[in-house]
Structure 1
Amino acid sequence: MKRYLLSTLTLSLMAAFAGAAEPAATAAPATTAAPAAGTLASGISTQYVDPAVRAQDDMFVHTNGGWLKSTEIPAEKASWGSFAKLRDDVTPQIRSIIEALQKDDSQKAGSQARKVGDLYASYMDEARRDELGFKPLSAELAKIHGLRDKKALPAMFAHLTKIGVTAPYGVYVGQDARDSTRYAAHVYQNGLGLPDPDYYLKADDAKMADIKAKYEKHVAEILGMAGRKDAAAAAKAIVALETELAKVQWTKVEQRDPVKSYNKVSLAKLNSLTPGFDLKASMAATGISAKTDYVIVSEPSYLTGFSKVLAKTDLATWKSYLEWQLLNSYAGYLSKPFSDAHFAFFGTALTGVTEQEPVWKRGVGLVEGAMGEAVGKQYVEQYFPAERKARMEVLVKNLLEAFRQSIDTLDWMGPATKKEAQDKLAKFTPKIGYPNKWLDYSALTVARDDLVGNVMRSNTFDYNRNLNKLGKPIDRDEWGMTPQTVNAYYNPQLNEIVFPASILQPPFFDMNADDAANYGGIGAVIGHEISHGFDDQGSQFDGNGNLRDWWTAEDRTKFKAKTAMLVNQYGAYSPVDGYKVNGELTLGENIGDNSGVAIAYKAYKLSLKGKTAPVIDGLTGDQRFFMGFAQVWRIKMREAKQIQLVKTDPHSPGKFRANGTLMNQQGYYDAFGVKEGDKMYLPPKERVTIW
């Protein structure tokens, strides 16, 4: 149950929600106040500027060219850039916290600290994992092998979902989009082992076809390692089954429509969507039926299509499919041969990574996913100075004020819609640094010598905690990311913008830098998340988090005309030959980038209070602002990973997040004297300004 309607700054693995409340931690003691104005740095990594490339022709390369030339992607990474570097800087800090707990024998059995240490220790015990092989999955494999007819599948799908295994559909509990004051159960399409249906269906794409062929070989390899004598034949049948599921799935663009994805169905009528398959019984097995009388179905036509696939696929193939999904979900926690084979496909073949991360990093990743807030509480105490939060609060306040003023001056929006927009903005809830209350893991059982059991219990713990929200008041203190996550997000149903502690560091936010680069960095991040409340998806939710059309028809038409221009702009960009950015899939994030930097620029100008910004490192304040934005998107990526993200990621590639955004900003043209004939010049009528 780890699916949430969040608009994040960048694609990342988010730590799961888990547990009830503890008192908030005390932030790390303040260190030094912001330096006096005369001693502030520019905040720009001038050592990476490439003077051979003009800012007017390619701002991304001009700002980051030296870095692009000198930097190699680490062998264990699919990409490397500002986000990845900061994550890599934070990870050793998290490691030190975890390993200190692991070595502390004074922690009481069953305490949260002891659980963190024991969970990490269970992962680090490679000898025991190698000794056990795939035996820890024996009981679950026996359940699958024991299926006697298809009537048992609804309950089996529900059971596997609880322990974190992929099934043909998923369930989660989140706010009801039409009534944000209550939780509702949601059912959505699932079931594929590859990242997107295109990997199964684009037979004319050589790269997609190659991945599909390698995937089938990988499935056969894993099944063979688990003792299947007919592994090759079983793998062929499994991939054929997943291909049939892919054919009936909604595209990621279709899934972005919150109105079409909201389909309230009573449990009594649920089986009408799945002739021949008892989905109602499956909901009973999930525990949902005991707590509600309806569910929200995201893709109803998929469920109908799935039921047809189920009917024409024999039980033996379904059992093989479930066996594969179980092994695939837990391969990384089994013996080295399983872990290595899993990485060889999902790491190397799919994303181009040539080396696994060190075992300690993978162990840290497990703890982060299972008990992220337990670690986050100590991270905040040790590594998040109080003055960072205080200065960030000022920035957020200034960005909200700039957005408020901007709404009033829009020439394309009428008074009625402006009034609603201002009402929504006034109801925004900023969250900065860390939660007001922490999650409680007392119901989670961790054993130092039972890695697979720990993972299963953690998945079940998360599932039950999520399920138990049904019928309870909305928890407005809950966070969708841990404090140590280098990211940010907007949640339309809580109408909140959230900035975890870890992102409040250079190059996004530098306590020792002049405001210009900070407004271009974290300021644009703040503006980005605010703008998600008014992008093509977020604008369909009101200030109370309800899916409600608060626009006049005329204003919505004008808005769509502007966003259509963005779709066309970004749809022309190509990060890899033969693969273009999907302008519709990335529309919300592109609105966030363009509007975010525009609002941040306005806020920066307001912060000057009519004064002229100092020239630092030979750069004016406006130039530092836009270079601060460009350096945030510094990144290099392996081709295989880039292709995967073009298919699946709602964010545009970093270069286009920088250049594509700035080409629409009049302030950028003024700061660098961009004129007709320059490569980044767009005629005024082709520039998109929304907020």
Structure 2
Amino acid sequence: MFPLRAAPNAPAGPSPSPGCQGSTSRGGEHRIRGTAFPREGKSGTQHCSRDPPLKPRPASGWLRWSAARAAGAWRGTAAGGRPAEGFWVKRRSGPWPRTSLGSADLAQLGGSLGLVAREEGVGVLQAATEGEVGFRKRTRHLLGSHTQLELVLAGVSLLLAALLLGCFVALGVQYHRDPSHSTCLTEACIRVAGKILESLDRGVSPCEDFYQFSCGGWIQRNPLPDGRSRWNTFNSLWDQNQAILKHLLENTTFNSSSEAERKTQRFYLSCLQVERIEELGAQPLRDLIDKISGWNITGPWDQDNFMEVLKAVAGTYRATPFFTVYISADSKSSNSNVIQVDQSGLFLPSRDYYLNRTANEKVLTAYLDYMEELGMLLGGQPASTREQMQQVLELEIQLANITVPQDQRRDEEKIYHKMSIAELQALAPSIDWLEFLSFLLSPLELGDSEPVVVYGTDYLQQVSELINRTESSVLNNYLIWNLVQKTTSSLDHRFESAQEKLLETLYGTKKSCTPRWQTCISNTDDALGFALGSLFVKATFDRQSKEIAEGMISTIRTAFEEALGQLVWMDEKTRQAAKEKADAIYDMIGFPDFILEPKELDDVYDGYEVSEDSFFQNMLNLYNFSAKVMADQLRKPPSRDQWSMTPQTVNAYYLPTKNEIVFPAGILQAPFYARNHPKALNFGGIGVVMGHELTHAFDDQGREYDKEGNLRPWWQNESLAAFRNHTACMEEQYSQYQVNGEKLNGRQTLGENIADNGGLKAAYNAYKAWLKKHGEEQQLPAVGLTNHQLFFVGFAQVWCSVRTPESSHEGLVTDPHSPARFRVLGTLSNSRDFLRHFGCPVGSPMNSGQLCEVW
């Protein structure tokens, strides 16, 4: 059992901003088929003094909210001309009507109502105990000297007042009995209402552009932070989690009974030793290169040592030149692990950057400049370094030419090839595979008959031919360049500065001012993520949240299965098998249990040596340790305790070979989930995420796996044909969307789009089931939304995002998820429930009249 994250084995490459390292595509030591959002990697950092206070703010909500006033309720019409759920008809011109209360007014409302906080932070209304409201005492007699007419009129007035008071009492009783007509005035409700109002753009009709309606205010108030290429709810929440971890690791009274937790603090502190890192400069990497065999760019090198250099770079230090090797569950025999080999070897985010040279000329030039600068920092001469790095770049371009695009690798039945090492040797003879794999998986004994699963047979065959025809000096330079990419983040600021120049061109980031501590938290998360998770969970996680989340998943699963029963295109045999698979999905909430058992946690990291003195050596030890851990997995069955995300990660995933969905503690926070938020927001937030991951079991890739997690055909032909017809509609729909004039790849994003659409439907149906069981909720004050509408606004506001044009382009060519805007617009335009509750008529931008529905 070892839940080491994939980062030590992830392909090296620049990434735009601190976050969760890894990839949602195949490769690395885990193979996640679906995540709620794309996980971002870490960038180089500019040291600066902009550190937050040692005590971070509690992770209780969204950051960066201003106190500016927001607009009030808007009102729309139903498709049939009737006012929809109490919404006014839109006027022909001018903005939508506004309510009298905005977010700033809400902030004052609590005080005027005598709002106080409970110990758990939920506000309650208390009756005044002093100075009760009443009439002033008067010395004059009530009747005084009024005329008879005045007295009659006064009597009539009193009678009318009594009747009016009776009406108010009757209405009050009715409102008390029907919570849907009452308002929630707790502190939590007022606060979340203010945040929702601040995010809205009331000048836009929800039936015109629901993303702008839901997020326009948020976008206006959230310019991109310096050094970031994108900013969204996930980034904000991850920053909060990092601040909590910083506080825990920098606590001067830190004292743990777990050696793994103590290693975590030592690793973090070694990363903070900036003076020591600057003092060593480039020397640690120079020494490592000389130890391996030298580098033609910087000095003498061993010309006849290709296999030895490959073993060191890809084996000992876990870089991924030419290909990647990892151990994971066999897709066709999921109860056993197997060696797996796949394509790899590119530094830039996608083959598109190499092949579309006209559009990416600036990026390729910046990349070559970066290569040259690093070569010179390590001892190369200007003229010869650029010439040799140009040769390495040309080799990467040739690799890009033979790399299969991700949208052509979605049918796993077609790309799965199981063979022996002997057969792999015949396929790609330029590599001595038995020698390489035996070294990589030492001390295991391997033979020619050892099974290997290859996911890129054509690619490996062509790589072998490319290696055979490439000069040995270029091969050496390319291999060592992969090692350089892997290790420069552990060196001094000159290497960070060089990377920043490339990042600015590649992602549009301005000069980064990311605090060093934040970079070190991300590095610690990569190295000792589950020991760090132990600290995080003990400090922040509410066990009751786990129980509530499990109940929500159960309700959402039931809603999904009920929808299965209503599909007219699926035959009964396939339907029954699908229901059995849904029943069998295993859910993991919060964290794996072993992290709270000190001995078990220590056993996980036993053998990983960490000192406080050398960050570079700690990283080398990590690469070597992860290689040994990988070897240890081969002869063991897959374990459910082996998570692919750490507990503090703000994300979730579905793993088809285990048929399991996982929701780390890091995402079980506001705005996705909060115990004192309306259920409409919880189901629209974490509920949709849960439905999304569950639906991944039935997307275009997940549907190929049965309930046991095995890749095999279990669909009847007629249902499979119908499924493909429905997904073709969705593929075409998303392919029409554009970002900055560039179209989305509907094929590349198909699985995530299916999950978004199915997840929303399942979560909304689950919310309706909750209402049927528990009754209507109180409404939020001032927002002017029914709770059903609040569900959809809550869903949309999870995806509020800002991004540079360069980062948007990178997302279009690499990300299996659609851009945030179209995760909202595409999903809601296919939702009958959304269109009904917001009264969007056919022909409006949100209602084309053609819905693409799969689940």
TM-score higher than 0.5 here? yes
Aligned partners of 2:474, 2:508: CA distance in 1, in Å? 28
Residue 232 of structure 1: SS of its match in structure 2?
A: helix
Matched, 1:5 2:39: no
Paired amino acid for 2:799: W
Matched, 1:626 2:792: yes
Per-residue deviation at 1:618? 2.2
Matched, 1:221 2:373: yes
Whether the 8 Å contact between 2:366 and 2:505 is mirrored in structure 1 is no
User: Which residue in 2 is equivalent to 1:122?
Assistant: 270
Q: Aligned runs of 1:583-622 on 2, under 5 Å? A: 583-609=746-772, 611-616=775-780, 617-622=783-788
Number of residue pairs aligned between Structure 1 and Structure 2: 669
User: Which residue in 1 is equivalent to 2:473?
Assistant: 316
Whether the 8 Å contact between 1:122 and 1:451 is mirrored in structure 2 is yes
Q: Aligned runs of 1:159-170 on 2, under 5 Å? A: 159-161=312-314, 162-170=316-324
Per-residue deviation at 1:255? 2.7
Aligned partners of 2:431, 2:698: CA distance in 1, in Å? 40
Matched, 1:635 2:798: no
User: Which residue in 2 is equivalent to 1:550?
Assistant: 714
CA gap 1:114/1:468 in 2 versus in 1, 3 angstroms: same
Q: Aligned runs of 1:104-123 on 2, under 5 Å? A: 104=253, 111-123=259-271
Paired amino acid for 2:35: T
CA gap 1:68/1:105 in 2 versus in 1, 3 angstroms: closer
Aligned partners of 2:658, 2:393: CA distance in 1, in Å? 39
Aligned partners of 1:502, 1:93: CA distance in 2, in Å? 11
Paired amino acid for 1:199: Y
Aligned partners of 1:107, 1:380: CA distance in 2, in Å? 14
Per-residue deviation at 1:157? 2.1
Q: State the percentage of identical aligned residues.
A: 31
Aligned partners of 2:214, 2:592: CA distance in 1, in Å? 35
Per-residue deviation at 1:380? 0.8
Per-residue deviation at 1:304? 1.0
Paired amino acid for 2:487: Y
Whether the 8 Å contact between 1:488 and 1:500 is mirrored in structure 2 is yes
Aligned partners of 1:412, 1:14: CA distance in 2, in Å? 41
Whether the 8 Å contact between 1:332 and 1:342 is mirrored in structure 2 is no
Residue from 640, 649, 654 that aligns with 2:815: 649
Aligned partners of 2:380, 2:400: CA distance in 1, in Å? 25
Whether the 8 Å contact between 1:154 and 1:279 is mirrored in structure 2 is no
Per-residue deviation at 1:353? 4.0
User: Which residue in 1 is equivalent to 2:536?
Assistant: 379
Residue 412 of structure 2: SS of its match in structure 1?
A: coil
Per-residue deviation at 1:159? 2.2
Q: Aligned runs of 1:484-499 on 2, under 5 Å? A: 484-499=648-663
Over aligned residue pairs, what C-alpha RMSD do you find? 2.2
Paired amino acid for 1:81: N
Aligned partners of 1:4, 1:300: CA distance in 2, in Å? 20
Structure 2: any 5+ residue segments left out of the alignment? 1-8, 10-27, 43-58, 60-117, 125-178, 295-299, 596-600
TM-score using structure 1 length: 0.93
Deviations 1:306-325 (A, max 9, x none): 11111111111111112222
Residue from 587, 599, 602 that aligns with 1:430: 587
Residue from 204, 222, 231 that aligns with 2:358: 204
CA gap 1:303/1:479 in 2 versus in 1, 3 angstroms: same
Per-residue deviation at 1:507? 1.4
Aligned partners of 1:665, 1:118: CA distance in 2, in Å? 51
Per-residue deviation at 1:238? 0.6
Matched, 1:368 2:525: yes
Matched, 1:173 2:330: no
522-531 vs 637-646, which moves further = 637-646
Per-residue deviation at 1:614? 4.1
Aligned partners of 2:690, 2:645: CA distance in 1, in Å? 16
Paired amino acid for 1:160: V
Whether the 8 Å contact between 1:211 and 1:350 is mirrored in structure 2 is no
Aligned partners of 1:86, 1:105: CA distance in 2, in Å? 24
Per-residue deviation at 1:346? 3.3
Residue 432 of structure 1: SS of its match in structure 2?
A: strand
User: Which residue in 2 is equivalent to 1:98?
Assistant: 249
CA gap 1:417/1:125 in 2 versus in 1, 3 angstroms: same
Residue from 386, 389, 393 that aligns with 2:546: 389
Whether the 8 Å contact between 1:178 and 1:547 is mirrored in structure 2 is yes
Matched, 1:676 2:842: yes
Aligned partners of 1:364, 1:261: CA distance in 2, in Å? 37
User: Which residue in 1 is equivalent to 2:422?
Assistant: 268
User: Which residue in 1 is equivalent to 2:570?
Assistant: 413
Residue 437 of structure 1: SS of its match in structure 2?
A: helix
Residue from 523, 542, 564 that aligns with 2:728: 564
Residue 503 of structure 2: SS of its match in structure 1?
A: helix
Aligned partners of 2:761, 2:228: CA distance in 1, in Å? 32
Matched, 1:237 2:382: no
Residue from 401, 425, 429 that aligns with 1:247: 401
Paired amino acid for 1:339: E
Q: Which has the larger radius of gyration?
A: 2
Deviations 1:147-178 (A, max 9, x none): 6445x323422321231323111110000000
Paired amino acid for 1:423: E
Whether the 8 Å contact between 2:363 and 2:505 is mirrored in structure 1 is no
User: Which residue in 2 is equivalent to 1:335?
Assistant: 492
TM-score using structure 2 length: 0.75
Residue from 229, 244, 250 that aligns with 1:78: 229
CA gap 1:629/1:457 in 2 versus in 1, 3 angstroms: same
Whether the 8 Å contact between 2:375 and 2:385 is mirrored in structure 1 is yes
Whether the 8 Å contact between 2:440 and 2:627 is mirrored in structure 1 is no
Matched, 1:154 2:307: yes
Whether the 8 Å contact between 1:248 and 1:305 is mirrored in structure 2 is yes
User: Which residue in 2 is equivalent to 1:184?
Assistant: 338
Residue from 184, 188, 200 that aligns with 1:49: 200
CA gap 1:493/1:278 in 2 versus in 1, 3 angstroms: same
Per-residue deviation at 1:394? 1.2
Structure 1: any 5+ residue segments left out of the alignment? 16-27
Aligned partners of 1:313, 1:248: CA distance in 2, in Å? 15
Residue 195 of structure 1: SS of its match in structure 2?
A: coil
CA gap 1:535/1:411 in 2 versus in 1, 3 angstroms: same
User: Which residue in 2 is equivalent to 1:511?
Assistant: 675
Residue from 282, 293, 296 that aligns with 1:144: 293
